[in-house]
Amino acid sequence: MRVVIAEDNALLREGLVLLLTSGGHEVAAVASSGPDVLPALLEHRPDAAVLDVRLPPGFRDEGLRAAIAARRELPDLPVLVLSQYVEETYAAELLAGGAAGVGYLLKDRVGRVEEFLEALDRVAAGGTALDPEVVSQLIASRDDPLSALTPREREVLGLMAQGLDNATIATTLFITERSVSKHIGAIFTKLGLPHTDSGHRRVLAVLAYLNS
């Protein structure tokens, strides 16, 4: 997998390069400031981008803006955003354009090497990878249309947002896959999602609470 990295912290940036190359990936380019990100992405057209939310010169949302701009130019570009804290507005804004191939992780998660690499692989494959802490805060801040969901259905939806499949959700919640399927069916019904393929409806379910 060819990856472009945008991170201003030199230690973390080099750590990401080492982590990815050790995992068999190719780092096509690195950027340390906001204005450098979009040109690097457009030039190298990587299989995935790993971007810090806050970059020089303003240390506000340069990385996020670059990610959104890049996905306008390259709609299928998988983007994994890293942040020091849960920044709800940024997470929702990034995902508002479509949850396919998007991830939002806290930087602490990078230290958990296997989890980080699994999240990157999932995003690169067109899936979603949201940090559990991001998911919990996003869910807690939304009332509608989630108010109709039971506590268990909200748990299932939160795990879906992390990109987990039915089997993993079942293991996490200590319930059967059949129960997970029933809960997901109830979520789809209560959120009024169309009867399209289940993969697409899973994405719509995630977006339903991020954009509610």
State the pLDDT at residue 187.
87
Backbone angles phi, psi at 82, to 5 degrees: -115, 140
Residue 118 resides in a domain: yes
**In the chain, which residues have pLDDT < 50?**
none
Please give the C-alpha separations between residue 136 and each of 7, 178, 180, in angstroms, as whole numbers. 25, 24, 19
Looking at the fold, whether 115 and 183 belong to one and the same domain comes out as no
Looking at the fold, whether 188 and 101 belong to one and the same domain comes out as no
Looking at the fold, whether 149 and 68 belong to one and the same domain comes out as no
Report how many domains make up the chain.
Answer: 2
Q: How many Cα atoms within 13 Å fall on the side-chain side of residue 14?
A: 2
CATH of the domain at 190: 1.10.10.10
Looking at the fold, whether 10 and 106 belong to one and the same domain comes out as yes
CATH of the domain at 106: 3.40.50.2300
Q: How many CB atoms lie within 10 A of CB 152?
A: 14
State the pLDDT at residue 181.
92
Residue 182 resides in a domain: yes
The rounded distance, in Å, linking the Cα atoms of 44 and 67 is 14
Please state the length of the chain: 212
Looking at the fold, whether 146 and 194 belong to one and the same domain comes out as yes
Residue 137 resides in a domain: no
Domain boundary at 112, 131, 150, which? Answer: 131
The rounded distance, in Å, linking the Cα atoms of 116 and 108 is 10
Domain hosting 25: range is 2-131
Domain boundary at 131, 155, 172, which? Answer: 131
Helix, strand, coil percent values for the chain (each to nearest 5)? 55, 15, 30
Looking at the fold, whether 15 and 66 belong to one and the same domain comes out as yes
Residue 103 resides in a domain: yes
Looking at the fold, whether 84 and 114 belong to one and the same domain comes out as yes
Looking at the fold, whether 107 and 188 belong to one and the same domain comes out as no
Looking at the fold, whether 151 and 81 belong to one and the same domain comes out as no
Looking at the fold, whether 121 and 178 belong to one and the same domain comes out as no
Looking at the fold, whether 120 and 174 belong to one and the same domain comes out as no
Domain boundary at 62, 96, 131, which? Answer: 131
Looking at the fold, whether 75 and 115 belong to one and the same domain comes out as yes
Residue 136 resides in a domain: no
